Amino acid sequence: MNAHPGNDLIVAPDDDGIAKGALLMDVKNVSLAFGGVKAITDISFDVRKGEIRAIIGPNGAGKTSMLNVINGFYTPQTGTITFRGHARRAMKPHHAVRQGIARTFQNVALFKGMSTLDNIMAGRSVLMKRNIVWQMLWHGPALAEEIEHREKVEEIIDFLEIEHIRHTPVGKLPYGLQKRVELGRALAMEPSLLLLDEPMAGMNLEEKEDMSRFILDVNQQRGTTIALIEHDMGVVMDLSDRVVVLDYGKKIADGPPDQVKADQAVIDAYLGVSH
């Protein structure tokens, strides 16, 4: 009665038995089309444990579609995704969550009327083992579990330095802080792989610097593997270990930032050479 179906897959990132630098996720020959529109064509790349992997490309290159495929929101027509040794094609976002994939959204997707604390706590719900009856009784093991989860959430609040807005409804917060809360909620799932969809979008310079610092800290101190989509090239080149470049749904480059920066195909894609 204790476990959700599928809960056996939930483990903290450090316990998933994959060594740092080893293959965490392998995307192979994935194609995705909406009717006649090809969003992604035959893309392959991998994510290694412990790295910051960036997916970049001009507008409409298929970045968010790619993230949605990894996330299980879209099912690709062809290709496979192997995550932590399990290959899969069709699945739902909640399966992805149970496998240890968490994400943030380009447009903040928080519960605006709820406090920071409750929003982050919501991120823990997938890890809660007691069923709804226990939780409603709010007693014994359910209470002990709640306390344990609350402690983890407080760790995240401390980590992201948002103590002062713990009880503030998220809708009242400035945008930069909302992004931070969203990151907090994703972290609360203790993901093996954290997907960030344009974490710096719409931020001013100072907020960007803060966010970069937090992304690096998440990666270095919590050991979380991160795959991020970002427009801001400066940020991407400074943060990430390896970069995949997409253009018109195709992969045009893949490698360390310096190599990608010098790649002629990438320069053409960004400067807009006629196709």
Partner 1 sequence: MAEAHALPDTFPKYLLRNAELFGSQWAMRHKDRGIWQSWTWSQQQGEIRDFAIGLAELGCRHGDKVAIIGANRPRLYWAVCAVQSLGGIPVPVYADAVAEELSYVLSHAGVRFAVVQDQEQVDKLGSFADKLTDLVAMIYDEPRGLADYDLSALHDFADVQKMGRSAQEEDAGRAKAWEDGIRSASGDDISIMLYTSGTTGRSKGVMLKAKNAVKAAQDTVAFDRLTEKDSVLAYLPLAWVGDHYLNYAQGYVSGFTMACPESGQTVAQDLRELAPTFYFAPPRVFEGLLTSVTIRMEDASRLKRWLYRYFIEVARKHGEAILEGRNVPLGARLSYAFGNLFIYGPLKNVLGLSNIRVAYTAGEAIGSDLFSYFRSLGVNLKQLYGQTEAFLYVTCQKDGEVRSDTVGPPAPNVDIRISDDGEVQFRSPGMFSGYYLEDEKTAETMTPDGYVKTGDAGFFDTDGQLKIIDRAKDVGKLASGALFAPKYLENMLKFFPNIKEAVAYGDGHEHAAAFINIDLQAVGNWAERNNIAYASYQELAGHPLVYEMIAANVEETNRRLSKEPMMAAAQIRRFLILHKELDADDGELTRTQKVRRSYVAERYAPLIEALYDGSSEKFVETEVTYEDGRKGKIRATVKIADAPVFGAADPVREAAE
Stretch that binds partner 1, among 160-168, 188-196, 222-230, 238-246 (CB under 8 A): 160-168
Q: CA 56 to CA 205: how far, in whole Å? A: 20
Q: Where are the alpha helices (DSSP H) in 1-129?
A: 63-70, 93-99, 116-124
Residue 147 binds partner 1, judged by CB under 8 A: no
Residue 20 binds partner 1, judged by CB under 8 A: no
Q: Smallest distance from the beta carbon of 234 to partner 1, in angstroms?
A: 22
The helix (run of H) or strand (run of E) holding residue 197 is strand 193-197
Q: Which residues are bridge partners to 86 per DSSP?
A: 83
Q: CA 273 to CA 55: how far, in whole Å? A: 21
Q: Smallest distance from the beta carbon of 230 to partner 1, in angstroms?
A: 23
Pick the closer one to partner 1 by CB: 150 or 261.
150
> Measured between alpha carbons, how far is residue 70 from residues 99, 140, 257 in Å?
11, 38, 22
φ/ψ bin of 36: left (φ > 0), alpha (ψ from -120 to 50), beta (otherwise): alpha
Residue 157 binds partner 1, judged by CB under 8 A: yes
Residue 209 binds partner 1, judged by CB under 8 A: no
Stretch that binds partner 1, among 59-67, 155-163, 203-211, 229-237 (CB under 8 A): 155-163
Pick the closer one to partner 1 by CB: 152 or 231.
152
Residues 112-141 that bind partner 1 (CB under 8 A): 117
Q: CA 191 to CA 183: how far, in whole Å? A: 11
What is the binding site for partner 1 (CB under 8 A)? 117, 150-151, 154-155, 157-158, 161, 163-164, 166-167, 217, 221
